[in-house]
Structure 1
Amino acid sequence: MRINSLLSLFALSALMAALPARAAEDTPNSIPGGTFVSVDQAKAQFDKGAVFVDARVAAEYAEKHIKGALNVPFKEEFPKVAKTGPGDKMDLGKLPADKNKVLVFYCNGSPCWKGYKGADQAIKAGYKKVSWFRDGMPAWEGKGLPTE
């Protein structure tokens, strides 16, 4: 009987270890209070002088980013899901003081929530012209657009 209990416990432990800690959620196709933009729309905003905000960590930004983008990393308490928490952080002081500037937030494409969450925080902070470029760096690079 004890062996059966141990085997059951072992099987349950193995099953639990195989499950992801938190399933990734897809990012949405819109952002409340802001504008969802495609790669072509993001490029049009780039050409008009919009401020691009890279919400990725500094190491990713240093490797490659959209030309002229600001690096304002979004630190997530809950990565890969819509949920936010008190551990979420972004230095809004790095954004332009003018809340009427066009801001375009991005990160590593549709599975990445940092750009969405950063754009959401900017909207809540009173920025009026916030865009979220969901497809981010993969789409920008895929089109051969300017990076540095």
Structure 2
Amino acid sequence: MRKVCFAAAVSAVLLLGLALVGCGGADKFKQEVEKEAGAIKLVHEVQRGGYDVIGTEELKALIDNKQDMLIVDTMPYEDSYKKEHVPGAVQFLFPIPDMTEWNSEETAGKSVEDYEALLGPDKDKLIVVYCGFVKCTRSHNGAAWAVKLGYKNVKRYPGGIFAWKGAGYTAESAK
């Protein structure tokens, strides 16, 4: 009888353990669906915008090798750029929603000509555009508009300042 009770107790514990693992697995599956949705959204933005992407390590290597490029931070000046940004970046605000038409209200009163002047006359120069993190689409707008203006070597850094700092790299602040 004791053996049967012991076996039943062990079986119950094992079944409970498997059920708990199964529940945890369900959360992992749900997280994967969310990651997939985010990845697909990013790919669609890249395809629609006509630019490429760059990762944290690649950007860091370009900075370390003093690559001739322009890095554009698309977040608000006071709330973000002034506090911290990727070293060497310049700031130009873009909105979060898709900006299919230029709207100076959403770019802190700046015109498309102002953006083109910031990007410079060399249409082949590497331009890297970023915002805060992967889900933020300010960088999509900045990269897509650079492409619309005829720049040919445009990359979006989707991880943005969060990935930069997450990798342990130092950010600059505005003086």
TM-score, reference length from structure 2: 0.61
2: CA distance between counterparts of 1:86 and 1:122?
Answer: 12
The correspondence for 1:57, drawn from 50, 53, 76, is 76
Tell me the C-alpha RMSD between the 2 structures: 2.2
Does 2:93 align with 1:73?
yes
Call closer, same or farther: CA 1:52–1:94 in 2, change over 3 Å. Answer: same
Corresponding residue of 2:21: none
Paired residues of 1:39 and 1:135 also in contact (CA < 8 A): yes
Is residue 113 of structure 2 the alignment partner of residue 96 of structure 1? no
Cα displacement (A) at 1:39? 1.2
1:121 paired to 2:136: no
Distance 1:71 1:83 in 2: 17
Letter in 1 for 2:90: L
Cα pair 2:73 2:129 within 8 Å, conserved: yes
Moved over 3 A (4+): 81-86, 88-91
Kept in 2, the 8 Å contact 1:108–1:138? The answer is yes
The offset of 1:86, in angstroms, is 4.7
Alpha-carbon offset, residue 97 of structure 1: 2.0
Aligned position for 2:23? none
Please give the alpha-carbon distance, in whole angstroms, between the structure 2 residues aligned to 1:113 and 1:107.
7
Displacement of 1:83 in angstroms is 5.9
Give the direction of change, closer, same or farther, for the CA distance of 1:85–1:128 in structure 2 (3 Å limit).
closer
Aligned amino acid, residue 31 of structure 1: V
Percent identity between matched residues is 29
TM-score, length basis structure 1: 0.71
**Structure 1 gaps, min length 5:** 1-24
Pick from 42, 46, 55: which aligns with 1:28?
Answer: 42
The answer to which structure has the higher helix fraction is 2
**2: CA distance between counterparts of 1:97 and 1:58?**
24
Distance 1:115 1:145 in 2: 20
Letter in structure 2 aligned against 1:44: A
Q: Which residue is equivalent to 1:47?
A: 64
**Partner AA of 2:165 in structure 1:** E
Structure 2 unaligned blocks of 5 or more:
1-36
Greater C-alpha radius of gyration:
2
Give 1:124 deviation, angstroms: 0.8
Distance 1:69 1:107 in 2: 11
